[in-house]
Amino acid sequence: MTDVADTAGKIRRMEIRGAGRIARVAAAALRDHAYQVESGDIAGFMAEMEKAAHTLVLTRPTAVSLPNAVHTVMLAMEGTNTPEEAKKAIAARADSFIRSSEQAVGKIGEIGARHIRDGDVVMTHCNSEAALSCLIEARRQGRDFSVFATEVRPRNQGQITIRTLNDAGIETNFIVDSAVRSFMNRIDLVVVGADAVAVNGAVVNKIGTSQIALAADEARTSLIVAAETYKFAPRTIFGELITIEEREPGEVLPPEIIDSLPHVRVRNPAFDVTPPEYIDLIVTEEGAIPPQMAYIIIREYLGWDINEFNRH
């Protein structure tokens, strides 16, 4: 049984992190919360659920998978007349979202693996389940390739990635973030995940991704993004920008050093935006698309279109 406040705290502190994972735990937290709400009337029940949804969505602002998952689960209440009915509908929707999210990661692995050839040197950044799924599936199919994985300052997610790659028996080089350009000429393919994909195909991912994309473009190295369809951002259709989370300076430097430097402001943006021109392909569970086709995913697969917004 997960508790909404506890789950929200874990997401905020990054004890649970990664866009896909936070979407799934938020769906699970809403499902469990529904059964913890005292059964009154349906309006009271919905108001309680709205509060919980709000708490979860506010934890981290960038990964669109989070509001998309919450929206999907909350929509299940539409048309229900009693809290009991609504609870069942929420639980069924949350479980189906979690299941399809896990399946999506597997499917992306199958599709993405087709782009990794024998002898390739692949670079990845941060720790993305979807990106790693491509590498692990290619390995499972017997492809012989090696990986360069970055450190990912300041939270060192690269250390999680190299453990997974090591466990899969994939030869891996671990480099600091600033070594990316030095090695780019040896790289055949960059594979990264996404926290959000805008309607124009721009990809928001861990800070540093856009520098890697620039270096890849300069070296004529292909870059593919592994992203489930629920990472596409419907509201960008209306020009809404994706908020880039800026985290505590204490993640970058110890507080005593920061305190000793009154004229220095430590900046810690957690994500950046890679323009579509630097992206060769976005691999979703529905197939691989050029970034320019992002609108199709939002409309056809995510099921959000202009009318969705007119209703709210």
- Smallest separation, CB 258 to ligand RUB (Å): 21
CA nearest neighbour of 124 among 193, 196, 222: 193
Position of tokens 């007349």? 81
Measured from the CB of residue 95, what is the shortest distance to ligand RUB in angstroms? 19
Please, what is the minimum distance in Å from the beta carbon of residue 76 to ligand RUB?
23
Min. distance of Cβ 129 from ligand RUB in angstroms?
3
Judged by DSSP in three states, 134 sits in: helix
Set 126, 134, 217, 280: catalytic member: 126
For residue 155, the 8-state DSSP code is T
Q: Are 132 and 164 in contact (CB under 8 A)?
A: yes
Least Cα distance to 130 among 110, 111, 150, 108 occurs for 108
The minimum distance between CB 17 and ligand RUB, in angstroms, equals: 4
- By beta-carbon proximity to ligand RUB, the closer residue of 244 and 296 is 244
Q: Give the Cα separation of 189 and 287 in Å (integer).
A: 18
Q: Catalytic: 134?
A: no
The partner residues of 204 in beta bridges, in order of sequence, read 196, 273
Nearer to ligand RUB, 77 or 298 (CB): 298
**Binding region for ligand RUB (CB under 6 A):** 17-21, 63, 126, 128-130, 157, 193-195, 205-206, 270
Q: Please say which residue, 42 or 168, places its beta carbon nearer to ligand RUB.
A: 168
Q: Closer to ligand RUB at the Cβ: 29 or 37?
A: 29
Active site residue 126: yes
Residue spans of beta strands (DSSP E) within the chain: 121-124, 146-150, 171-175, 189-192, 196-197, 203-206, 222-226, 271-274, 281-284, 287-289
Catalytic residue among 32, 195, 217, 280: 195
Quick one: 241 or 264, whose CB is closer to ligand RUB? 241
Contact 172, 243 (CB under 8 A): no
Give the residue numbers marked as catalytic.
126, 195
